[in-house]
Every structure is written in C-alpha cells, then in structure tokens.
Structure 1
Amino acid sequence: MANYFVGDIQGCFNELTLLLEKVAFNPSRDTLWAVGDLVARGPGSLETLRFFKSLQGSAKVVLGNHDLHLLAIHGQLKRANPKDHLSELLAAEDIASIIDWLRLQPLYQELPEQQLIMTHAGIPPNWELATLRARADAVSNILQSTDYLTALIAHMYTNDIDQDLPQLSSLEQQIYCINALTRMRYITDSGALDFNCKAPIEHCNHSNLTPWFQLSHKLPKDYRIVFGHWAAIMGQTQHANRLALDTGCCWGEYMTLWHLESDQKITQNKLKDVKQS
C-alpha cells in the first residue's frame, strides 16, 4: 500500500492521469490524497471530480477555496469566472450528486500513525490539534446541512475576519476557519491573516509579514503539515515538516505528487495545447 499526495489539480485532469500512470497508482491498494482546489483554471474539472468521487475510500480530499467557490456558483450566489472553465461541469447531468459529494469533504485530513495532517492552505500557528479538529468539524457540519448556502457560504466572502479573537460569534469562527485553512499565506506581526501578498517572501515588500509555516506552532513537534494553495513558492518552505505541493500546473508549470513512504516527489509538466479528455 502506498500513500500519494497531489498538489492543486485545478481541473488539469490529463496531467493528473499521467502522474498516476508514472507511479502505477492502484486504487485497490493505494490511497490518493488531494490538497484541495480540484477545480477551476484547467479544462478538466468535471473529469477530476468524477474521478475522485469514483475512488470512494481510496481518496482523501480536503476542500480548497476554489472548491468552496464552486458551491457558491452552483447555489447561484456567485457567477462563474469564464477563465475557470466550469461550464461543462455546471451543465453535467450528475452535477447534483457531485455537489453533494463535495459537501461531504472535510477541511482537514489526518494520518495519525504518520503524525501527518493535510489542509489546503495550512494551519494557523496558534491552533492546537484539538482546536483544528473542533473548528473544521463545525464548518463541515454546516456544509452537510440542507441550509449550508444561507447559513455559511453566503457569508464567507470577507477579508474582515482575519484573526481568531475570543469575541467572534460561531459564524465568525467558521468564516475565520475557512479563511485560515483555505486562503492563508502570510501572517502579520499582530497575528492577522494577510490576503494581499501572494508572492514568495523575497518578492513581498512588507517587513511585517511572515509565511505561516515559518512561525512556531502549537501542533505536536514532529507533526508534518501537507498543503497546497501557494503556487508562487513552488514547493519551497525550508522546513522539513511543512510540505508545499502546489507547483502551478494550471499556470503553465507542473503538477507534483509526493510518495509518503519513499519521501519522493514525482512531477508532470503542464501539457501544451492539449484538450482534456
């Protein structure tokens, strides 16, 4: 049995297929972990979601910001960006069952025996493991309810909730959780999430910003965090226990697959001018 972790797919389904062929992925034996953002910029979002849905227990998925945005688009709270190539997905005959499946996916996944946690963007440095579980599970409970659109999705589009303060309401805690686990990159000196700078630290001209993974953490010391979301750093964290897997395939770079047991990374370059199957 092998555990494979893949970076942001963003609808680049052909590249994912080639990566899995390189390692002879077998769903009857292996597990595929995805750091979120299954959909968006690439033309194969429908195929990607159908594939992961079909894997059932052989896939471990977390929601990314683009996946949550898809819920809002399908719920007619937001309009799709034409650059996201979602028309085929939204018009699919099985879109309702796909959305229902997506709503069941959590914001974090654990592999306790390996002391490993996966989220889309990272974990706030001031959160203990119990806090992560409680806050993320609270969001999942809402997403799985019938009124998830009005109870949560309609309210999540804000940059104002950038700190986990004691006075936050339950809804505000859920919004902060989404912001932190699916959108976080830098944290300010005052402990707030920064939503403006996406560049790597050497190109971000703000002395008060620190990448979240460079700050001391309240998780158990040896825990590894696997995440995506931040293509600009191209997998570089300079931290052995912080594994960044988004390497910008949808932006013309490459997709990264990490094999846990051998600690090896396998890559697949973005295909040029190839229509997704």
Structure 2
Amino acid sequence: MSRYAVGDLQGCLKPLQCLLNEVGFQAERDQLWLVGDLVNRGPDSLETLRYLYSIRNSLRITLGNHDLHCLALARGATDRGRHPSLEALLNAPDCGQLMDWLQQQALVLRSDDGRYLMSHAGIPAKWSSEQALSLSNEIETVLQGPEANNFFTAMYGNDPLLWNNALSGLPRLRAITNHLTRMRISNAQGELELQFKGALADIPEGYRPWFEWHKPNARSETLIFGHWAALECQTGRDDIIALDSGCVWGREMTILDMDSGELHRCDCNS
C-alpha cells in the first residue's frame, strides 16, 4: 500500500485525476489523504464529491472551512455566502447522501504509524497532538449528533480569538473550528488574526505564521496542512508540510507521497 496526501481540491477534479494517474494510485490498494476544502469555487464540486464517494474506502479526510460551509448550506443552517459553484451539488438528487458522508469526517487525523498528523489549517503550537485529536473529536461528536444544526448556525464568527481550555459550549466549538480550519497567523500569545489571507511578506506586525511558533521537530509527527494558498507551500521546514498550492486560482495542485516524501504537481491551467 502507498499513501498520498493532496492539497485543497475545491472542486477541481481533473487536476486530482491527473496527479493520481501520475503516481499510479490504485483505490483498491492505496490510501489517499485529503487535507480539506474538497468543494467550492472550482468547476466540479458535485463530480469531485461523487468521485471521492466512489473510492471512499481508500480515503482519509479532514474537513476544511469550505466543506463545513457547504454542509451548513445543505442543512439549511445558513443562506449566506452561497457560491454559484455549489449550486449543482446542493441541487443534486444525491446531495443528501454526499452530505451525510461528508459530515462523518474528522478535523484532525493521525496516521496509524504515528508519522503524520493532518488538519486543514494547522495545529496551534500550544496544543499537543493528543489535545488536537481530542478537540477534533469534540467537533466530530457534535457533527454526528442531534446538535449539528445548532453548531452549523453558531460556527460563524471570529470570537474567541484566543484559545482557553476553560471555554465551553458553542464558543468553545467555534474556537476549535477556527483554529483547525481557518488559522493562518497568530501573535506570541496565540491570538489569531482571521482576516489575513495574504503572503508571508504582508503579515502584520506582531504576528507570525502559526507554524513559526512551533519549535523545530517538537512533535513526533510531521504536520500536513492546506488552506493557505498564498503561502505557495513554503514553510521553510521539513516537519511541517503545506499542500495548498492554489489550484483553484489557476496555479497547481500538489500531492505528497507520504512514504518517500516526494512531491508531485499538476498545472491547473492544462
């Protein structure tokens, strides 16, 4: 079995298939890790989810902010921010089946061999790997329970920006979700700045990329994340790997061979 991890798809099915062909991926044998934001903005959100559902036994998925937003739209928890690229998916006869499956996914995953830890936006430096997995489980429990729609309604918003273990209720769930699916930069205290989406050179004073607050090789796992297209996969370190190379913006899609460490890329304009 070979294992691969791929950056944000955002409804770009053809580049994904290009990469899977390039690495010789076989669903009946191999495993594909998806770092989140499977849908939205790209041309084929519906067909992307249908394809992924067809090989679902070969997948390990962490949800991104766009996936959660799509679920909220599909469940009727919000009507704001409805992107035209989602219309075919939300109106499809199998939308319910696809959303039920998507809603079963995690926010943090660790590989069975303990080598990798994956989430959509990253893992705050102040959280241990075990804490990150435990906090992810809190969201998974809500997503798969009777309070899911209340969560979808309340997950929008930036507060609280600073994590506190004593947080409870919906503010706690929102903070977990924002750290794992929307985080890019924070200050020395760990307070997030959630409006920033730019390049490293444009980070406001007093803030740094979340991964720069991590001591090198402090964890036993290598972290895998996506979400930050403007980063262009540049973290400057081997123990934290960024995979969102901006396919939906006309750049590239990136896949990681999790066993060899080799990266493969497909031009999303081709």
Q: 2-side partners of 1:257 and 1:174: how far apart?
A: 30
Matching of residue 211 in structure 1 with residue 205 in structure 2: no
The range that moved more, 124-133 or 246-255, is 124-133
* Cross-structure match for 1:134: 134
* Cross-structure match for 2:226: 228
Q: 1-side partners of 2:180 and 2:216: how far apart?
A: 15
* Cross-structure match for 2:74: 74
- Answer yes or no: is the 8 Å Cα contact 1:129–1:219 preserved in 2: no
Query: Given residue 67 of structure 1, which amino acid in structure 2 is its aligned partner?
Result: D
* Cross-structure match for 2:264: 266
3-state SS, counterpart of residue 113 of structure 2: helix
- Answer yes or no: is the 8 Å Cα contact 1:127–1:218 preserved in 2: no
Q: 2-side partners of 1:168 and 1:67: how far apart?
A: 24
Query: Given residue 270 of structure 1, which amino acid in structure 2 is its aligned partner?
Result: C
Listed one character per residue, the Cα deviations across residues 189-228 of structure 1 (whole Å, up to 9, x for unaligned) are: 3321111222122122x22001011112599533210000
In the superposition, relative to structure 1, how do residues 217 and 200 fare at CA in structure 2: closer, same or farther (>3 Å)?
A: same
Q: 2-side partners of 1:138 and 1:148: how far apart?
A: 12
Query: Given residue 215 of structure 1, which amino acid in structure 2 is its aligned partner?
Result: W
**Root-mean-square deviation (Å):** 1.7
Tell me the CA shift for residue 49 of structure 1: 1.1
Q: 2-side partners of 1:128 and 1:166: how far apart?
A: 12
Q: 1-side partners of 2:175 and 2:82: how far apart?
A: 28
Matches within 5 A, 1:171-210: 171-204=170-203, 206-210=204-208
The range that moved more, 214-223 or 123-132, is 214-223
Q: 2-side partners of 1:90 and 1:197: how far apart?
A: 29
* Cross-structure match for 1:157: 156
Matching of residue 242 in structure 1 with residue 259 in structure 2: no
Tell me the CA shift for residue 80 of structure 1: 6.1
The range that moved more, 4-13 or 69-78, is 69-78
Q: 2-side partners of 1:50 and 1:62: how far apart?
A: 17
Q: 2-side partners of 1:117 and 1:185: how far apart?
A: 17
In the superposition, relative to structure 1, how do residues 100 and 82 fare at CA in structure 2: closer, same or farther (>3 Å)?
A: closer
* Cross-structure match for 2:144: 144
3-state SS, counterpart of residue 79 of structure 2: coil
The range that moved more, 120-129 or 162-171, is 162-171
Listed one character per residue, the Cα deviations across residues 219-271 of structure 1 (whole Å, up to 9, x for unaligned) are: 95332100000000100000111000000000010100111122111111113
Matches within 5 A, 1:46-125: 46-79=46-79, 81=81, 83-125=83-125
Q: 2-side partners of 1:171 and 1:148: how far apart?
A: 11
In the superposition, relative to structure 1, how do residues 167 and 109 fare at CA in structure 2: closer, same or farther (>3 Å)?
A: closer
Where structure 2 has 5 or more consecutive residues not aligned to the other structure, the ranges are: none
Where structure 1 has 5 or more consecutive residues not aligned to the other structure, the ranges are: 273-277
3-state SS, counterpart of residue 168 of structure 1: coil
- Answer yes or no: is the 8 Å Cα contact 2:114–2:220 preserved in 1: no
Q: 1-side partners of 2:266 and 2:19: how far apart?
A: 6
Matches within 5 A, 1:1-80: 1-79=1-79
Amino-acid identity (%): 36
Q: 1-side partners of 2:11 and 2:233: how far apart?
A: 19
Q: 2-side partners of 1:227 and 1:190: how far apart?
A: 22
The range that moved more, 185-194 or 81-90, is 81-90
Q: 2-side partners of 1:128 and 1:23: how far apart?
A: 33
Q: 2-side partners of 1:214 and 1:129: how far apart?
A: 17
Query: Given residue 209 of structure 2, which amino acid in structure 1 is its aligned partner?
Result: P
3-state SS, counterpart of residue 60 of structure 1: strand
Q: Size of the alignment, in residue pairs?
A: 270
TM-score after normalising by structure 1? 0.92
3-state SS, counterpart of residue 164 of structure 1: coil
Tell me the CA shift for residue 159 of structure 1: 0.6
Q: 2-side partners of 1:34 and 1:105: how far apart?
A: 11
- Answer yes or no: is the 8 Å Cα contact 2:216–2:239 preserved in 1: no
In the superposition, relative to structure 1, how do residues 21 and 111 fare at CA in structure 2: closer, same or farther (>3 Å)?
A: same
In the superposition, relative to structure 1, how do residues 102 and 162 fare at CA in structure 2: closer, same or farther (>3 Å)?
A: same
Q: 2-side partners of 1:13 and 1:82: how far apart?
A: 20
Q: 2-side partners of 1:222 and 1:185: how far apart?
A: 22
In the superposition, relative to structure 1, how do residues 130 and 261 fare at CA in structure 2: closer, same or farther (>3 Å)?
A: closer
Tell me the CA shift for residue 53 of structure 1: 1.6
3-state SS, counterpart of residue 257 of structure 1: strand
Listed one character per residue, the Cα deviations across residues 74-94 of structure 1 (whole Å, up to 9, x for unaligned) are: 122323646450111011111
